[in-house]
Amino acid sequence: MEGTPEPPDDAAHAPAPESAAGPAPEPQQRRSRDRGKEGGRRRGAARAASARYSQSARSVLRPLPARVVLITAIAGIAAVGATGGFAPVELVDVPEVEPGTVMELGPYTARVESFFVTDQVATSALESQEGAEAWLGVRAHIENTWTEPRVVSDSSFTPLLDGEEVAPDGRPTDMLVRDGSTYVTLQPNLPEDVLMLWPIPDADAIGDEVTVRMDSLVYVDSELLGAWDWLRPQPVALVTLERDDDLPPQVIDPPEEEDT
């Protein structure tokens, strides 16, 4: 008589218990996980390097101070002019006006009255001008009609002799008539009498008349400066001035004392 078959041993056929960390990974799974960890480390290192580079780039590309930007802009403009990048200013249809006529020049109103030749004002500045023998000066009455203090633009007044610039390579020095101070800053709505001084190599070459071109500035958004400003001079008037070398005493430098 056959006996009743015994039930199978469940313990012998049951799957191995899983550890708390989960089933043991197959070799292929371990390799994939290792590659994933290595890739994560590399991506993290790349992100850190990118952050360091971005911070460095921001420090390098930080906006320059306005003075540095302005100096850079002036240097760029000078370089273009030196290589012939500027065409001669066309004076066709520029009206001739009488001395003392008030003209709108953008951020200023101004009139010019006479000119002079001298070596007795701003003598230290004159000595610093290479090859200069004297100043050609223009008397101007200027009012800053803008909302902020402004220096007088170099391009607002240009003396001409026989149609050519008297001092094409020299930048003017400006002087307040009331106290003889230089590097004038005009306050809003406060008119001033100003002497505009250009260095010239030969005082004897200047006769009794000089023509001054007056240029108006345009308020534009300058990509170079990164701000709005008065730029792009446009000729608006020609004024023929007579010579008058008499100067007020407060602008004349005292004579140098001789060594004894």
Q: Do residues 118 and 190 both lie within one domain?
A: yes
pLDDT, residue 41, reads 55
Tally of domains in the chain: 2
Whether residue 48 sits in one domain with residue 155: no
41 and 158 part of one domain: no
Is position 162 within any domain? yes
DSSP 104: E
Query: What CATH number does the domain containing 147 carry?
Result: 2.60.40.1240
Return averaged pLDDT per consecutive 10 residues of the chain, 260 residues in all.
49 47 50 51 47 38 38 40 40 90 96 97 94 96 96 87 85 93 94 96 95 95 90 95 97 79
Q: Is residue 126 part of a domain?
A: yes
Q: Measured between alpha carbons, how far is 186 from 150 in angstroms, rounded to an integer?
A: 5
pLDDT of residue 48: 46
Q: Answer yes or no: do 42 and 143 share one domain.
A: no
Whether 125 and 241 map to the same domain: the answer is yes
Would residue 183 count as lying in a domain?
A: yes
For residue 170, give its domain range: 96-251
Say what the pLDDT of residue 167 is. Answer: 85
Asked if residue 162 and residue 41 are part of one domain, the reply reads no
**pLDDT of res. 168:** 83
Instruction: Give the pTM.
Output: 0.64
DSSP state string for 141-209: EEEE-SSS-EEPPTTSEEEEETTEES-TT---EEEETTT--BS-EEPBT--EEEEEEEEES-GGG--SE
Are 129 and 175 members of one domain?
A: yes
